[in-house]
């Protein structure tokens, strides 16, 4: 949940930086095509945050282990993607984005460790045949 919150922050910062970058460059009549990197990691961060929040809710309720871990992996991929995009496009003044990306990665790894460690506590969904059998008895 904390990693997903950081991911929302990265997405918001990316959109604000994108808008500022475009405003600055257009005021000097320069090309703004380099601003696509901000939209890339902002979009991916916001999409990953929805998976992160869903995963966090499933972890809290101890349901659907595989989906919970998949959400954590998507959050970790979002952190790695953010770090790669920031380095690839070489933007300045991105320390806040880097710190958030590192935090997303750290919290995702910590969450994955605790989730995998408590795997036995998760309730796996029953198959339809098992549900019918339970209703009969």
Count of CB atoms situated within 10 Å of the CB of 15: 16
Tens-place pLDDT, residues 104-131: 888 888 888 888 888 777 766 666 666 6
Write down the pLDDT at residue 62.
80
pLDDT of residue 121: 77
Give domain limits for the chain: 2-136
Q: How much is the pLDDT for 134?
A: 62
Assigned token pair, 43: 């979009």
What is the number of other CB atoms lying within 10 angstroms of the CB of residue 75?
Answer: 28
Three-state SS at 63: strand
pLDDT band at residue 135, thresholds of 50, 70 and 90? low
- Is the pLDDT confidence value at 133 over 70? no
For residue range 43-95, what is the model confidence (pLDDT) as tens digits?
888 888 888 888 888 888 887 788 888 888 888 888 888 888 777 777 666 67
Predicted local confidence at residue 124, as pLDDT: 65
pLDDT in tens, 11-42: 888 888 889 888 988 888 888 877 787 888 88
E strands present in the chain: none
Rounded distance, CA 137 to CA 66, Å?
A: 29
In this predicted structure, what is the pLDDT of residue 85?
79
């Amino acid at each position: 949940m904390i990693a997903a919150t950081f991911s929302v922050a990265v997405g918001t910062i990316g959109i604000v930086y994108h808008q500022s970058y475009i405003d600055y460059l257009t005021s000097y009549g320069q090309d703004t095509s380099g601003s696509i990197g901000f939209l890339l990691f902002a979009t991916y961060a916001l999409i990953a945050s929805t998976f992160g929040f869903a995963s966090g809710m499933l972890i809290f309720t101890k349901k659907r282990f595989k989906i919970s871990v998949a959400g954590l992996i998507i959050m970790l991929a979002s952190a790695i993607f953010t770090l790669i995009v920031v380095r690839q496009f070489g933007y300045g003044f991105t320390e806040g984005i880097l710190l958030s990306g590192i935090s997303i990665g750290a919290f995702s790894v910590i969450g994955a460790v605790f989730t995998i460690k408590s795997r036995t506590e998760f309730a796996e969904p029953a198959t339809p045949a098992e549900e019918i059998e339970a209703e009969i008895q």
